[in-house]
Structure 1
Amino acid sequence: MDLTGMTVVDAHIHQWDPLSTPREFSGLAKLFRYLPIPLDVAKKLAPKLDREFVGDPEPFIHPYLPADYRTDVGDVPVEAIVHIEVEWSGKGQLAPANETRWVASLPFGVDTPALGAIVGAGDPTAPGFAELLDAHQSASPLFRGIRTRVEYHPDKHIRGHNRPPGVLATPAFLEGFGVLAERKLSFEAWVYSHQIPEVTALARRYPDVTIILNHLGTPAGIFGPVGRETGKNPGQRRELFLTWRDDLTALATHPNVVAKISGLMMPILGHPVPPRGEPTPVPVLLERISPMLHHALDVFGADRLIWGSNFPVDKPITTIGNAAEAIATALTDHGADATALDQVFRTNAQRLYNLADF
């Protein structure tokens, strides 16, 4: 199943230049730029949790800009994109707004897809959160909401953010989240799958805030072993799937929640990383992701699912074209018709991010 004849919105991409803008991985990028040994040798020196998360550091050590995305998108008919914050590390409480300003300055819409919306970084527990939201909105009229780094995994050998578990339920987070609600901005929740109940509790407490679950909840290890003890055998992976399934079902009962079909090719899910330049083919992807997509379609419906490529983070596993084809095929195999595909790949993102011109 391909997307020929459709117009597509890619609702989850990242742009970066770690050599000229402050990113958490800028030091690594600059090191690799001058390291006099091959990348494939040097990456073996990196911590295992970082190697497993990125799969291949190559996309992270170079700029990834509109022309790079244009090359990667190939024949997928993407008309507009939504940029999601990615590890900006500037100093000062208003620094994340500089990423919004930087993204808005990039040459989208020339011979590349248009920039439809920007989701910036912001921490509701931080001092000056309201001022940061104002700064984001001043930086670009395309600013629509925030994403906060709260990902945590009980397997300490799986990469997470340096935050304790349960952040989404703390009084400080909830107080700041109320400021987000007052401004009618959205919240992108990137969590590991065991944190999905925390997102459910947040959705229950703030039913008027649109919450977008990134990457279907990122069940690390669902396709293969990662970390020290996660997904190490088929029985454990089956148990992981069943827990993810039940938690996603509970989350979907809240109508203010939308789920992103994105990040399903992230290496941390347990995909074997193929040799560079040999993307995982569609039939293999389809076999892995179909059960997840079938369940997501059952509980959220086509009107609350949106597609995003998560490029270039997913690039070590496959291409945008292969991923989009596998997702469209899996949905079609489970009863999605042309109207449903149009919702998932275009109109839901238009509505959610207020993309009036696309």
Structure 2
Amino acid sequence: MDLAGMTVVDAHIHQWDPLTTPREFSGLAKLFRYVPIPVDLAKRLAPRREREFVGDPTPFVHPYLPRDYQQDAGEVPVEAIVHIEVEWNGKGRLAPADETRWVESLPFGVDTPALGAIMGAGDPTAPDFGELLDAHQAASRRFRGIRARVETHPDPQVRAMCKTPGLLTSSAFLSGFGALADRGLAFEAWVYSGQLPEVTALAERYPDTTIVLNHLGTPAGIFGPVGRNTGQHPGQRRELFVRWRDDLAALAVHTNVVSKVSGLMMPILGHPVPERGKPTPVPVLLERISPMLEHALDVFGADRLIWGSNFPVDKPITSIPNAAEAVATALSGHGADDKAIEQIFRTNAERVYGIDEL
């Protein structure tokens, strides 16, 4: 489906410069800058969980800034973007607000899409979480909420930053989450699919807080084997799909939850990584992602789905134009008309992130 003739909000991108700002992968980026190690050699030497998550480390060892995104967007008519926090590791309890301040300073809107909103980093279990939220808000009028590193997975070879299963429903997390709710801010939930019931419990406890599910819940291994024992054969992948389908439907009952049709080209889903510079073609993507998108449209409806490219994380698998076309084609093939496509690719993001209020 052609998106020409409409404008798009890309509601999930990452901006970084690991050479000049503190990121968890800054050490790796600086190593590549000063030591001439071939990227492909470094990939072979990296731990398996890292290889399978990133697919190709190239995007992580270079800055990714507004001009880089504009080049990747190509002919997709992106009008504005939403930046999502990405592994900032500055020192100090209010350090995550520095990422918000840094993103606000980037040259968006200068022959590049506008900066529509920022979702910063924060840990609701931290005792100074409320103070951090205030610091984020002081750093940018575009700050709309936080994403916390809560993703966990039972397979130890699937990359996950959180080592505490059940964190989303813990008393410490729920207590801190109230500070977010009190300020009318949103929560960006990136979890693996086994955690979807936790997101459902959170949505039920805080029905007036907007929760944005990232990447349809990231069912790792749904397209191919990853980790030690995830998605290893068709029967296992079918079981994974069925559980994901049922848990997503249960989550969608809660009207304060919207879901991003994003990150469906993350390598951790089990996509084969193509040769660098040769993005997976649209027909192949359609065959893989259509069942997920059709179910998401059925349970959330067009007014609670939001598109995002998840670039540059999805770049090892495909391009932004291919990803956007595949998502739009799959949704339109399942009954989404032009108005619905416009909602998913623009107006829902404007509503949820308050972009039209800028």
Map Cα deviations across residues 243-284 of structure 1 (whole Å, 9 max, x no partner). 000000000000000000010000000000001000000000
1:277 aligns with 2:277: yes
Q: How does 1:198-277 map to 2 (within 5 A)?
A: 198-277=198-277
RMSD of the TM alignment (CA)?
A: 0.7
SS of equivalent to 1:290: helix
- Percent of aligned pairs with the same amino acid: 78
CA distance in 1, matches of 2:309, 2:36: 33
Which residue identity is paired with 2:120?
A: G
Match of 1:54 in 2: 54
CA distance in 2, matches of 1:344, 1:153: 29
SS of equivalent to 2:356: coil
Displacement over 4 Å in runs of 4+:
none
Match of 1:28 in 2: 28
Structure 2 residues not aligned, in runs of 5+:
none
CA distance in 2, matches of 1:181, 1:341: 30
Q: How far off its partner does 1:357 sit?
A: 5.7
Match of 2:152 in 1: 152
Q: How far off its partner does 1:356 sit?
A: 1.4
Structure 1 residues not aligned, in runs of 5+:
none
Q: How far off its partner does 1:33 sit?
A: 1.6
Aligned length: 358
CA distance in 2, matches of 1:284, 1:70: 25
Match of 2:298 in 1: 298
Greater alpha carbon shift after TM alignment, 156-165 vs 261-270 = 156-165
Q: How far off its partner does 1:163 sit?
A: 2.6
Which residue identity is paired with 1:171?
A: S
SS of equivalent to 1:356: helix
Map Cα deviations across residues 285-311 of structure 1 (whole Å, 9 max, x no partner). 000000000000000000000000000
Which residue identity is paired with 1:291?
A: P
Q: How does 1:92-241 map to 2 (within 5 A)?
A: 92-241=92-241
Which residue identity is paired with 1:311?
A: F
CA distance in 1, matches of 2:33, 2:60: 11
SS of equivalent to 2:259: strand
Map Cα deviations across residues 206-256 of structure 1 (whole Å, 9 max, x no partner). 000000000000000000000011000000000000000000000000000
Match of 1:39 in 2: 39
- With structure 2 as the length reference, what TM-score do the two structures score? 0.99
Map Cα deviations across residues 109-138 of structure 1 (whole Å, 9 max, x no partner). 010000000000000001210100000000
CA distance in 2, matches of 1:37, 1:101: 33
Q: How far off its partner does 1:34 sit?
A: 2.0
- With structure 1 as the length reference, what TM-score do the two structures score? 0.99
SS of equivalent to 2:238: helix
Map Cα deviations across residues 13-71 of structure 1 (whole Å, 9 max, x no partner). 00000000000000111112222231111211110100000000000000000000000
Contact kept, 8 Å, 1:93 with 1:127, in 2: the verdict is no
Q: How does 1:268-347 map to 2 (within 5 A)?
A: 268-347=268-347
Q: How far off its partner does 1:192 sit?
A: 0.1
